[in-house]
Structure 1
Amino acid sequence: MPRVICAGHLNWDVTLRVPALPDPDGEVSVDSRRAGGGGSAANVANGLADLDVAPVLLGSVGDDEHGRIARAELDDRGVDVSNVVVDSDLETTTKYIVVESSGEVMVLGCAGANEAFTAADLPDESLASADHLHMTSQDPETAARLAERARRQGVPVSFDPGRRIDDRGYGPAITSVEYLFLNDREAALALDAFDLSEQTLVLKHGPKGAEIRDGTRRAAHPGYPIDVVDTTGAGDAFAAGFIAARVGGADDERALSVANACGALASKAPGARTSLTWDDVRTFIGE
């Protein structure tokens, strides 16, 4: 079974569904409220476990109930959480995710323990035995150091820096990885700021599908038409599908097809995590 390390945030998510975002000084009723483990790295690891990949999570939580539940949820799903750091001086990071009726999201974050881990918290033997390292939003120095260590071990690295790509100093990490996952806004910023001639760009176009750019090589997939319920975690599901397909030997076109299917499945259900088994993916694609 392929082994993939996911490094980044493990949070406690509180998701509020509302009919629409309120105007300034306004108020709307909350249609539903749910809470559970979240964070991009944890979400990708959860999806990989569904897709018959052995995921290892590198992240950090506080020594509190939310951190214990978040780790237990992942452990129950088959994610190796032995490298998750528990910081007794900080609380598990909480994210408040507001989802309006169109499925679009707004995120409010509270500072906490999700960047308490460092690159040194991943043992050399764990990295050396991995087939892939996937990094999500995290401390820029940690990301750059992890990418450097993986390169020395010959382990391919992907990076999804997320919505804060323009203000976190991710340059050294971005230019050190093989695969870079970007949505349209992030791609516009990255292409303007960095020399990405050595990176394979995996570009997410939302309802318009996705594409790969690698030098002069191009591959694209149009995506799947769906009724969107909640886009929370859709990008993480996309990454899980793409990585699972690639470590399983799929070509670009197949990897994009699987990734788009996983992103669509995530968008059709509430919450950051949904079932992404190969049976679910093949049924959705129509195989």
Structure 2
Amino acid sequence: MKSYKVVCFGELLWDILPDKTLPGGAPMNVAYHLNRLAIATTLISGIGNDDDGRKLLDILKQYHLNTDYIQTDPLHETGKVFARAAANNEMKYDIVQPVAWDYIKVTPEQQGLMQHSDKGYLVFGSLAARNNETRKTLLTLLSLMDSDRTFVLDINLRPPHYDKKIVGLLLQHCNILKLNESELELLGEWYQLPVNLEERLRALSNFFVIPTIITTMGDKGAVLLQDGNFYQHPGYQVKVADTIGSGDAFLAGFLYSTIHKHGAANTLSFACALGALVASLPGGCPDYQLSEIAGVMNTTA
């Protein structure tokens, strides 16, 4: 069995925009960018037994992404999200349910994958936990990875697809938490955290024992709390094409740089640069080269 440094778990779907339809889902986007950066990555998800699912598989193969762990559900359709642009370059989403990725089942192959991932990373989100079937599978896989693995929660609080109790459970199972400003604000309300940004992150880190928390802030950059140290990056200014997948690219950049041990400040800078580069290009999985990320980093932040 091939060993993968990163396993991404969760939704695989079509993003349906007013003018185009794109392959999407945060786990797939993260897997795409890591694979493009030469990090061995695979994806656990589900598609329907339909044309939409078959087209997604074809695209994953074009992306050179492994598809061995994509299940075909005979009862539920392939996932779809209807997206539209809103204020401040943000996107609004109508996420169809139930769909195939709500019914990901535990398999012996998945179990073997977890146990053979060499000091690897499991990336998952709260959206995939909206349905009991996939949530049980996720919790089972989390239990199979031992203490030298890193659990990465890319929280994705899209109303009405989350529940405070379930989100709290996932927060107890992560070593790295990535979230945006609005998600941090909601957690602050839930857990009565301090208003000050740094103090809020420290309180959240202490409450759930999370060593690394990253908060993205759009065109204002991002902040990082890692092992008690606080870092801030102002972001890179680019002409935005759309923000689809830019947060996922940010996370992939963060993991890439973490795996290569570039240091916290450089890791945050690289993640901001990749997120900005993807925001400057159409779609969540654009073509680009590593040199283009360096080009963004050489601009004035």
TM-score class normalised by the smaller sequence: 0.7 to 0.9
* Aligned counterpart in structure 2 of residue 3 of structure 1, from 2, 5, 10: 5
Partners of 1:244 and 1:178 in 2: how far apart? 16
Partners of 2:109 and 2:185 in 1: how far apart? 32
Partners of 1:15 and 1:123 in 2: how far apart? 33
In the other structure, the counterpart of 1:93 is: 79
Partners of 2:188 and 2:278 in 1: how far apart? 28
In the other structure, the counterpart of 1:70 is: 56
In the other structure, the counterpart of 1:146 is: 141
Relative to structure 1, the CA distance from residue 286 to residue 119 in structure 2 (aligned partners, 3 Å threshold; closer, same or farther) is farther
- Asked if 1 retains the 8 angstrom alpha-carbon contact of 2:31 and 2:42, the reply is yes
Q: How does 1:1-287 map to 2 (within 5 A)?
A: 3-16=5-18, 33-99=19-85, 103-111=89-97, 112-120=99-107, 123-130=110-117, 131-136=120-125, 137-139=127-129, 140-150=135-145, 152=146, 154-164=148-158, 167=163, 169-193=166-190, 196-197=205-206, 198-199=209-210, 200-214=212-226, 216-286=228-298
Higher mean alpha-carbon deviation, 153-162 vs 269-278, is at 269-278
Partners of 2:182 and 2:116 in 1: how far apart? 35
Which structure has more relative contact order (CA 8 Å, sep 6+)? It is: 1
Secondary structure at the residue paired with 1:138?
helix
- Asked if 1 retains the 8 angstrom alpha-carbon contact of 2:257 and 2:270, the reply is yes
Higher mean alpha-carbon deviation, 38-47 vs 185-194, is at 185-194
In the other structure, the counterpart of 1:22 is: none
Secondary structure at the residue paired with 1:281?
helix
Give the C-alpha shift of residue 184 in structure 1: 0.8
Secondary structure at the residue paired with 1:177?
coil
Secondary structure at the residue paired with 1:229?
coil
Secondary structure at the residue paired with 2:278?
helix
Secondary structure at the residue paired with 2:6?
strand
Computed over aligned residues only, the root mean square deviation of the Cα atoms, in angstroms, reads: 2.2
Tell me the alpha carbon deviations over residues 205-247 of structure 1, each in whole angstroms, 9 at most, x when there is no partner.
1111111113531122111012222111111111111111111
Secondary structure at the residue paired with 2:103?
coil
In the other structure, the counterpart of 1:25 is: none
Partners of 1:170 and 1:39 in 2: how far apart? 19
Please list every run of 5 or more consecutive structure 1 residues that lacks an aligned counterpart in the other structure: 17-32
In the other structure, the counterpart of 2:198 is: none
Length, aligned pairs only: 270
Give the C-alpha shift of residue 52 in structure 1: 1.0
Secondary structure at the residue paired with 2:149?
coil
- Asked if 2 retains the 8 angstrom alpha-carbon contact of 1:11 and 1:93, the reply is yes
Q: Which amino acid aligns with 2:250?
A: F
Q: Which amino acid aligns with 1:138?
A: A
Partners of 1:261 and 1:2 in 2: how far apart? 25
Tell me the alpha carbon deviations over residues 71-93 of structure 1, each in whole angstroms, 9 at most, x when there is no partner.
22112212111101110111101
Higher helix share: 2
Partners of 2:226 and 2:190 in 1: how far apart? 18
- Asked if 2 retains the 8 angstrom alpha-carbon contact of 1:15 and 1:96, the reply is yes
Relative to structure 1, the CA distance from residue 106 to residue 3 in structure 2 (aligned partners, 3 Å threshold; closer, same or farther) is same
